[in-house]
């Protein structure tokens, strides 16, 4: 089968669109097309006409003809199938099937013909495939444009922040120049300059010319504060606190300005009590922190590929006199928990009595003021298991493609062992122009276009909501795009269930007051 040309002509034989698939001169194809209307009989049912050299396979389209010119050795059935496919494509690209509409969409029709016929032979394609090929949409190109746009937006944000910082530095510099110029002169020179000043009885100006530019600054300062006594009195600007000394002349000068109706802002130096009050005072003399970090890798089809929990018990002491102590603990009886004490801890005492104390009983524990703010590590432990029942939160993701959309259903199931707080489930998405269409959700959601992720947030998971689901819709995408899913949460209970029973003083007396903090946090929690 060889198709010589595919054309759309008028009833009179005028060629509107013609695509040749073999070497053929313009005069020859125009002659073949012009001769076709004369060969078509009236009232005949067949849709082909043969001459000595070629065969015409045609189909009327309103006032036009869709025509295939083939050689006589071609398969007529294949020609009819090609003609039927082209007749479906023409209305897809041309809404008005007349001469003007065909001419407007001539190039689109030629591109479509090229996808159906290659070198005179029909390609095994459908109408939907031809449209997709002609649209030439590229996922990589869209992703590149989104990344480029995000970089441009990020650069704009950085530019705005830098411009704001420059403006603030200029304002601070101007304030420093206006309010701090007196620091360049010694106290003796300031007092000598005030000794040469004379306050006039009529206007509050300065009569002497030797004031180091002080008259201009004080006048502008006073004029700025007229009519706004409350704002000036409650919020003095930084850098304008000019210390004029504590001499009698200075006081008289300020009193005279006050008598004339000017508002004087006096600079009050910060006291040591104000700076100390910003730091919250310590609460308990002894604080013990139990922290476990969980690393879990779940399989998307179910099962656990990695489960690792690492825990630490740290001690923080505020006062040195409370350092001579021992800590008695208890934990869940489980052979899978591997404990490891600090090298300075008495291991035999811990093994026999579950008491953490230093090998040298006369040596106190270090205080938190000189050491790490988080405290001193006393004990470490590790739990490794592949039992899925120990996993505090399981995630199931079900993507399914339907037509031009991908429906993604995600559900979580939480273990009854823990009450999880601040749960965030981050689902990666394909590159999107707009946010996904979230149809149903138990909780809140947020779309991050830069990272192309959808964050599902649940404030608290307890006995009232051990399971929940979310459903959203995105354009067609492969199911692997939505993995790996990352999860973050915290809990006030740990796997080891380690508790501090008592703090024992070594020198007698009442035990110091202590507090215990317990938390479970995620370090790397993923569904792959």
Between 219 and 424, name the one with better pLDDT: 424
* Lowest mean pLDDT, pick from 6-20, 169-183, 349-363, 384-398: 169-183
Rounded to whole angstroms, the Cα distance separating 111 from 135 reads 10
Rounded to whole angstroms, the Cα distance separating 393 from 522 reads 11
Domains of the chain by start residue, with CATH: 3-135 (3.30.450.60), 286-386+495-527 (2.60.40.1170), 389-491 (2.60.40.1170)
Q: Could you tell me which residues are beta bridge partners of residue 488?
A: 424
CB under 8 Å to 99, separation ≥6 — which residues? 10, 14, 16, 64
Q: What is the pLDDT of residue 40?
A: 79
Query: What mean pLDDT is predicted for residues 34-42?
Result: 78
Nearest to 512 by CA among 279, 327, 291, 280: 327
Helix axis angle, 76-93 relative to 106-116, nearest 10°? Answer: 150
Q: What is the pLDDT of residue 468?
A: 93
Residues 288-319 have pLDDT tens digits of 999 999 999 999 888 899 999 999 999 988 88
Nearest to 331 by CA among 363, 355, 362, 365: 355
* Lowest mean pLDDT, pick from 52-56, 280-284, 353-357, 503-507: 280-284
The dihedral of CA 258, 259, 262, 263: what is its sign? positive
- Residue 208 pLDDT greater than 50, yes or no: no
Between 18 and 222, name the one with better pLDDT: 18
Between 508 and 253, name the one with better pLDDT: 508
Confidence band of 239 (pLDDT split at 50, 70, 90): very low
Q: What is the pLDDT of residue 192?
A: 44
Mean pLDDT, rounded, of the chain: 78
Report the percentage of the chain scoring pLDDT > 90.
Answer: 26
- Phi/psi of residue 183, nearest 5 degrees: -70, -15
Confidence band of 253 (pLDDT split at 50, 70, 90): low
Confidence band of 425 (pLDDT split at 50, 70, 90): very high
Confidence band of 24 (pLDDT split at 50, 70, 90): confident
Confidence band of 101 (pLDDT split at 50, 70, 90): confident
Q: Could you tell me which residues are beta bridge partners of residue 254?
A: none
- Residue 419 pLDDT greater than 50, yes or no: yes
The residue with tokens 């869940």 is 332
In the numeric block, which tokens belong to residue 159? Answer: 């530019």
How many other C-beta atoms can be found within 10 angstroms of the C-beta atom of residue 4? Answer: 22
Confidence band of 229 (pLDDT split at 50, 70, 90): very low
Rounded to whole angstroms, the Cα distance separating 484 from 468 reads 19
- Residue 203 pLDDT greater than 50, yes or no: no
- Residue 269 pLDDT greater than 90, yes or no: no
Confidence band of 210 (pLDDT split at 50, 70, 90): very low
Helix axis angle, 127-135 relative to 106-116, nearest 10°? Answer: 120
DSSP code of residue 496:
S
- Residue 189 pLDDT greater than 70, yes or no: no
Q: What is the pLDDT of residue 392?
A: 94
- Residue 340 pLDDT greater than 50, yes or no: yes
Q: What is the pLDDT of residue 76?
A: 83
List Cα–Cα distances, 19 to 8, 49, 56, 163, in angstroms. Answer: 9, 19, 15, 59
Residues in the chain: 528
Say whether 115 sits in a helix, a strand or coil: helix
Between 489 and 203, name the one with better pLDDT: 489
Query: What mean pLDDT is predicted for residues 10-24?
Result: 84
- Residue 339 pLDDT greater than 60, yes or no: yes
- Residue 409 pLDDT greater than 80, yes or no: yes
Q: What is the pLDDT of residue 178?
A: 55
- Phi/psi of residue 368, nearest 5 degrees: -75, -15
Confidence band of 186 (pLDDT split at 50, 70, 90): very low
Residues 442-462 have pLDDT tens digits of 999 999 988 899 999 999 999
Say whether 330 sits in a helix, a strand or coil: strand
In the numeric block, which tokens belong to residue 105? Answer: 């969409």
Query: What mean pLDDT is predicted for residues 488-512?
Result: 88
Q: What is the pLDDT of residue 519?
A: 93
Residues 347-391 have pLDDT tens digits of 888 888 888 998 888 888 888 654 445 678 889 999 988 888 889
Q: What is the pLDDT of residue 259?
A: 62
């Amino acid at each position: 089968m060889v198709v010589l040309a595919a054309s759309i002509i008028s009833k009179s034989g005028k060629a509107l669109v013609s695509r040749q698939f073999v070497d053929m001169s313009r005069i020859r194809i125009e002659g073949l097309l012009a001769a076709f209307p004369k060969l078509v009989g009236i009232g005949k049912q067949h849709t082909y006409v043969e001459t000595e050299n070629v065969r015409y396979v045609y189909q009327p389209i309103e006032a036009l003809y869709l025509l295939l010119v083939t050689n006589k050795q071609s398969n007529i059935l294949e020609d009819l199938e090609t003609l039927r496919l082209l007749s479906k494509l023409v209305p897809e690209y041309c809404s008005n099937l007349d001469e003007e509409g065909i001419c407007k969409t001539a190039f689109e029709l030629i591109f479509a013909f090229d996808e159906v016929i290659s070198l005179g032979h029909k390609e095994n394609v459908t109408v939907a495939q031809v449209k997709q090929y002609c649209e030439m949409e590229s996922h990589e190109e869209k992703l590149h444009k989104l990344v480029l746009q995000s970089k441009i937006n990020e650069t704009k944000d950085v530019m705005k922040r830098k411009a704001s910082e420059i403006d603030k530095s200029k304002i601070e510099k101007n304030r420093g120049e206006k309010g701090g110029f007196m620091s360049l002169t010694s106290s003796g020179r300031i007092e000598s300059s005030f000794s040469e000043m004379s306050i006039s009885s009529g206007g509050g100006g300065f009569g002497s010319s030797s004031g180091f530019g002080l008259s201009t600054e004080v006048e502008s300062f006073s004029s700025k504060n007229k009519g706004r006594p409350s704002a000036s009195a409650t919020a003095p600007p930084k850098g304008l606190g000019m210390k004029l000394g504590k001499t009698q002349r200075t006081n008289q000068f300020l009193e005279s300005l006050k008598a004339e109706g000017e508002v004087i802002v006096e600079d009050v130096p910060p006291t040591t009590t104000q700076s100390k009050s910003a730091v919250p005072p310590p609460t308990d003399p002894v604080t013990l922190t139990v922290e476990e970090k969980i690393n879990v890798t779940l399989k998307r089809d179910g099962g656990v590929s990695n489960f690792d929990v690492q825990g630490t018990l740290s001690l923080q002491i505020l006062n040195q006199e409370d350092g001579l102590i021992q800590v008695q603990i208890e934990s869940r009886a489980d052979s899978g928990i591997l404990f490891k004490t600090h090298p300075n801890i008495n291991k035999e005492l811990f093994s026999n009595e579950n008491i953490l104390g230093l090998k040298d009983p006369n040596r106190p524990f270090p205080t938190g003021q000189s050491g790490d703010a988080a405290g001193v590590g006393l004990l470490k432990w590790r739990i490794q298991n592949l039992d899925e029942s120990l996993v505090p939160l399981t995630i199931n993701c079900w993507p399914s493609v339907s037509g031009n959309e991908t429906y993604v259903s995600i559900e979580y199931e939480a273990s009854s062992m823990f009450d999880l707080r601040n749960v965030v489930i981050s689902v990666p998405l394909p590159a999107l122009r707009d946010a996904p269409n979230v149809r149903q959700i138990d909780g809140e959601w947020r779309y991050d276009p830069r990272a192309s992720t959808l964050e599902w947030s649940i404030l608290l998971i307890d006995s009232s909501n051990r399971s929940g689901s979310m459903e959203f819709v995105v354009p067609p995408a492969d199911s692997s795009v939505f993995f790996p899913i990352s999860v973050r949460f915290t809990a006030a209970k740990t796997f080891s269930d380690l508790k501090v029973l008592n703090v024992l003083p070594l020198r007698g007396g009442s035990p110091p007051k202590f507090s215990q903090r317990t938390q479970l946090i995620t370090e790397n929690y993923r569904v792959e």
